[in-house]
Structures are given as structure tokens and as C-alpha cells.
């Protein structure tokens, strides 16, 4: 069981962004994807989700080629939390989360009581149940991010893919979301997230995939890969390492 890519080339119709990507995300595991701006992280996520067709190589979900799965099968397996943008339509927050349930029913069927209960439970889990009746267009960027996570979880997927899930969150909510990510893995989901913060990857991810210019720079266990030399190579800046008395480290950019 895994979400895997082998020799994957990916990009847009007119433009290849990355190639030779090897990736294997197992249930119960957290994988952090790190790379400089424009290195191809979001495009890779969209390819793993089946939103962009691969330009080469193999993509498989639990051993089956991703391209052979129906949209509904994919939606039941893979939850996606995109970077939060202001919505166009003033659906209520509750309706946005309820949309995550369409993966489990007919697009035309009315949501069941069970669907509504799950949507509300996920809003509560993310601490935003009080926003349920508010228009999605009239909540803050950070609140939108939490609502999008609730929507992905309402899908009850086996894998969750999050694009910079903490980018617009305050310090407290960053911690809350990262703890939630660990909790999802403990419940058996495979979790893949992108981040610009190596400290977050070190603290919350089991494995790390570093990409630069669409190529794998390094892949492996977070504790082994997240060292200053490697981060300097990835980001092209000096890195300062802070250590506490118990051997824990944190990194600061621009040393
Ligand atoms: N729709 C598109 N068509 C063509 N090229 C695109 C498109 N969207 C993004 N790109 C290009 O693809 C490359 C990778 O972009 P991508 O968004 O995947 O990077 P990223 O690593 O997620 O960046 P960031 O950390 O800044 O969010 C960039 O050069 C970008 O300009």
C-alpha cells in the first residue's frame, strides 16, 4: 500500500517542470516536500493528485496505476488541501466542507445526515465550527486554510496532500495544524505536505524529499537529511544551527 512515483516526469502541456522523481508515501507516514520557490512542488502535488497528466514514468496508488482509477476512486483515496485563495462563490463554510462528501455519493444526490454529521465533526476537529454559517468569502485567509483542511478530511481519504498548510496561519494555528497532521498519520493516513520551514519538517515529518529545479536533490529520513550543509545546498544561503542542551536543533536562514 502506498502512493508512489517512479521515474516521474511532470509539468504543464507546453512546459516540463520536473523529472526523475522517486517517491513512496505509505499509510501512517508523514512526508515533507521541501524546495526553493519555483522548484516545482505545487506542480508535483497536482500531478500526484491526477490533476495534471504525468509526462513520463509511473504513478500508482496502492499498486494500481493512478490513470486507471475513476475520478470518484481517486477522490475517495486522495484528499487535497490547496493553498487557500479567496473563493468566488459565497457558499457557507459548512457547504464548502460538505462538498468534500461528494466523493462518497452521487454528484446529484442530496447529502445524507451522515454526510452532514461528518462535515460538522471535521469543522469541530479543526476548531472552526463557529464559522459554519459564515460565507466562505468573508473569513480570513487563515480561517480558510483550516476550512480547506476540514473539507479534505470530510472526504475521509487514505492519503492527504497539503500545499503549504501553515503558510497563512498564526503561530498557534501552525502548531495546531502540524499536530493534526501527526494525528492523521497516527490514525493510519499517509500525509504529504510542502513547507518552506525545515524546522517544521524536522519536527513533524518522518521522511523528507528535497527538490531543486524539478529534480530530487535528496530523499530520506528527516533526522538524517535535515542538516545545515544539505539545507545550504538546497536554498543557496548560509544556515545557522541552534542547539539546546538536549541535542535538539533548529535552523535559522542567512548565517
Ligand atoms: N500553469 C502554469 N503553466 C506553466 N508554468 C507554470 C504554471 N504554474 C506554474 N508554472 C511554473 O512552474 C514552475 C514550478 O512552479 P510551482 O508552483 O510548482 O513551484 P513551487 O515549488 O510550488 O513554488 P513556491 O514555493 O513558490 O510555491 C515555476 O517556474 C512556475 O513559474
The model scores a pTM over 0.80: yes
Q: Please, which pLDDT band fits residue 106 given cuts at 50, 70 and 90?
A: low
The residue whose CB lies within 8 Å of the most ligand 1 atoms, and thus the one to mutate among 8, 11, 14, 39, is: 39
Please state which CATH number belongs to domain 3-253: 3.40.50.300
Pick from 80, 125, 124, 73: which is nearest to 99 by CA? 80
ipTM value for the complex: 0.98
Atom of ligand 1 nearest to the CA of 45: 18
Domain spans, the chain: 3-253
Query: Contact at 8 Å (CB) between 230 and 214?
Result: no
Backbone angles phi, psi at 249, to 5 degrees: -125, 155
Ligand 1 centroid from CA 40, angstroms: 6
Q: What is the mean pLDDT of the chain?
A: 92
Question: What pLDDT score was predicted for residue 176?
Answer: 87
CA 204 remoteness from chain centre: 13
Atom of ligand 1 nearest to the CA of 211: 21
Q: Return d(Cα 206, Cα 32) in angstroms, integer.
A: 8
> pLDDT per residue over 118-133, tens digit each?
999 999 999 999 999 9
Q: Please, which pLDDT band fits residue 47 given cuts at 50, 70 and 90?
A: very high
Amino acid at each position: 500500500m502506498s502512493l508512489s512515483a517512479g521515474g516521474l516526469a511532470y509539468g504543464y502541456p507546453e512546459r516540463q517542470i520536473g523529472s526523475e522523481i522517486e517517491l513512496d508515501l505509505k499509510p501512517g507516514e508523514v512526508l515533507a516536500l521541501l524546495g526553493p520557490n519555483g522548484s516545482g512542488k505545487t506542480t508535483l502535488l497536482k500531478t500526484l493528485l491526477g490533476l495534471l497528466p504525468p509526462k513520463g514514468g509511473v504513478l500508482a496508488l496502492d499498486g494500481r496505476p493512478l490513470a486507471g482509477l475513476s475520478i470518484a476512486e481517486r477522490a475517495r483515496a486522495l484528499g487535497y488541501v490547496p493553498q487557500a485563495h479567496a473563493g468566488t462563490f459565497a457558499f457557507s463554510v459548512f457547504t464548502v466542507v460538505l462538498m468534500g462528501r461528494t466523493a462518497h455519493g452521487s454528484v446529484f444526490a442530496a447529502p445524507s445526515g451522515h454526510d452532514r454529521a461528518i462535515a460538522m465533526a471535521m469543522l469541530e476537529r479543526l476548531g472552526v465550527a463557529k464559522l459554519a454559517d459564515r460565507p466562505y468569502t468573508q473569513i480570513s485567509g487563515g480561517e480558510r486554510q483550516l476550512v480547506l483542511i476540514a473539507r479534505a478530511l470530510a472526504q475521509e481519504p487514505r492519503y492527504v496532500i497539503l500545499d503549504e498548510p501553515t503558510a497563512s496561519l498564526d503561530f498557534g494555528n501552525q502548531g495546531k495544524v502540524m499536530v493534526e497532521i501527526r494525528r492523521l498519520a497516527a490514525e493510519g493516513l499517509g500525509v504529504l505536505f510542502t513547507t518552506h520551514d525545515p524546522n517544521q519538517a524536522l519536527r513533524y515529518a518522518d521522511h523528507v524529499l528535497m527538490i531543486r529545479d524539478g529534480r530530487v536533490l535528496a530523499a530520506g529520513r528527516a533526522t538524517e537529511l535535515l542538516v545545515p550543509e544539505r539545507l545550504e545546498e538546497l536554498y543557496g544561503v548560509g544556515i545557522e544551527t541552534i542547539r539546546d542542551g538536549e541535542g535538539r536543533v533548529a535552523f535559522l536562514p542567512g548565517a
